[in-house]
Each structure stands twice: as C-alpha cells, then as structure tokens.
Structure 1
C-alpha cells in the first residue's frame, strides 16, 4: 500500500508534469488575433460579358493565429457566408446565389484553411491553404502582407482561383465567354491581438 508521503510525491510529479505540458502547448501556439468585422473586407473581381465587376461578402469570420517568428505554429481559418455575396446588383447577386453558381441553399458556407507559410521578406508572406466551395476542396495559395503596430495589425493580400474548378458554373454558366473563369480575391483584415 502506498504511503502518504509517496502519494504526495506522485501527485506533485503529476501536477508538475501537467504544468510542463501546458507550458509547452502555450509556447507552440502562435499569437492569436481577433478580426474587426467593421473594418475588414473580403472582395473579389470577376468578368461578365467582357467587363470587370467587383463584389464582396458582407458576412465572414477569420480565426487568425499568426506570428512572423513562428510560422510553423501559425494558422488561418476563414469562413464565408456565401449568401452574403454583394456586387451592388440585385439581379446579378440572385444569379450568383442560384443553384448553378454558389448554390447557397445547399452550400451556405465556404471555408479557407491555411497552415503552411513562407516568409518572403519585407513583411511579405505566402501561404498554402485549402479552399472548400460547393463541397469541392482544392489548394489555393495566397500572397499577403502583415503589419503589426502595437498589438493592432493589418493583414492584406490576394489570391487567384478558377471558378469552374469548384463547380461554380453549371449549365450555361460554364460558358467562359460570358462569365470569366478567373476570379481575383482580395482581403484586408483589421486585427487586434488577443494573446
């Protein structure tokens, strides 16, 4: 039978071990950032009938863990409400939300997750992540800048995708002479440090 002193020693070792493990996890976690929705933008540029048009999303969230000194522990997780698409043209917005394009009733959320980052110097970075849209997941690289000033930061960048790779365009909408296949995505996220 274990003595009282032995029990206390074992309990002490367990506590110390747990604290050490917790400290290791905290040390591995990159700085956490809270996105400020009112100051952040997620937009895109497409082409319709030979003319460019710009749109964006009124509702999206971004869980950002990013530390330029610890890229291995950094991670982006962005979720987009596809029904919040807004191109300042009601008829076009309805078409984008329809079953042939975003199909927002079946696929209300698009998601982008990145966990591989490269430092390109001068506050410039690239990331490799996976975009899931219409239940199709593909690798999408992004280029971005990160400017941190006293616990507040701007994360700004771009990405290029081909809409047909994600099934955004069924039936007549597959015709790229009417709606271009290439879409440029732009983002400007205002962040505040939480850790």
Structure 2
C-alpha cells in the first residue's frame, strides 16, 4: 500500500509559512490553535493529510509591510494521512526524504495589503531542496488577543520532487496539492 501524498504536506507547509504573516513585537504562534492541512487526489479520490509539527517566526506590522517578515518551518517527518501504511511511506526518499530533508521552509519576500484584512504574501517555498516562488492569499481576523491567519493555495508536487519514480505518474497521484492553513498568533497589532 504505497499511496501517500507528500506534495499535500508540502503545500501545507507553504501555507503555514504564508499564514504566519500577521505578528510583530512579541508575536508568537499558538500551536494548539493552528493547523496546516493538505488535500491531494489519488486515483481521483481526495486524500486529506496534515503536518503535526511546524513553527513560525513573524514580524508583522500592518503599517510597515515593507519591513514585515514571515518565516515558517515545517517538520516533514510530522506529515500524516492518518493511515499507518501511507504514513510509513511519507518519510521515504520518493516522498519527503526526511533523513536528508527534515524540514520544509517558507520565507516571505513581500507582503501586500488587499484591504478588509486580506493580504497577499509572496515568498520562497523550499521543500526537499527545491525552492519555488509562491504567492499565498491570507485572510486575517482578530478576536481578543488572538489574530488568526487563514488561507489556501495549490502547489505542484512534482516541482518539489514529491512522489518520485513510479509516483511521478499523475494518473495515480495528482500533481496538484491544495494546502490549507490556520495560524493563530498573539501580539499582532490591529489589522
């Protein structure tokens, strides 16, 4: 049973990085209220997964977007599809190759305000040693001291060499992986 989708995990990592955009001063990620999830299709059937371990370093000031920065690190070994056999495959070389590439990263290069608590975060997503430019839409809402950044975007798993060799066949595992994120942050100013 080799039907795992590391591309989805990669997408989640990217999303989490981009979502980390809102925060400055003593800004911090609240892991218990945050999530990076992904959906891929295997033989046309949606397969859901998530990354259980990730962190974000955020310096976000809505009044100073040119100096705001978001950095996300995702533990690729924490990817899970919730199926023991698939989860055993994800760390292997054809998928995430965790021994050689234990982390996926996102580093913002520009943040653009779109109005109404919506932002566009551009940056470099690096998975399995392959860096790609990505632009991620982020919606931010605030409730009390917590700012929640949410969004989703699609990555091409083969651009990151996720699912190599026999898994490069997109009729088995689709190339597109949707990454969804919800990042809860503290210390963010009014957006």
TM range (shorter): 0.7 to 0.9
Shift of 1:149: 3.8
Matched, 1:163 2:160: no
Tell me what 1:177 maps to. 171
The structure richer in helix per residue is: 1
Given candidates 69, 81, 84, the residue that maps to 2:75 is 81
With the length of structure 2 as denominator, give the TM-score of the two structures.
Answer: 0.82
Tell me what 1:129 maps to. 123
Mapped contact 1:72–1:115 kept (Cα < 8 A): no
Tell me what 2:93 maps to. 99
Q: What RMSD, in angstroms, separates the aligned Cα atoms of the two structures?
A: 1.7
Max radius of gyration: which structure? 1
The CA distance in 1 between the partners of 2:64 and 2:100, in whole Å, is 38
Shift of 1:194: 7.4
Shift of 1:151: 3.4
The CA distance in 2 between the partners of 1:60 and 1:30, in whole Å, is 19
5+ unaligned residues in a row in structure 2: which ranges?
Answer: 1-22
- Which of 1 and 2 has higher RCO (CA within 8 Å, sep 6+)? 2
Equivalent residue pairs, number: 167
Q: Deviations over 1:120-148 (max 9, x none)?
A: 11111111110111111110110011123
Secondary structure of the 2:159 match is helix
Q: Deviations over 1:91-116 (max 9, x none)?
A: 11122221111111111000011130
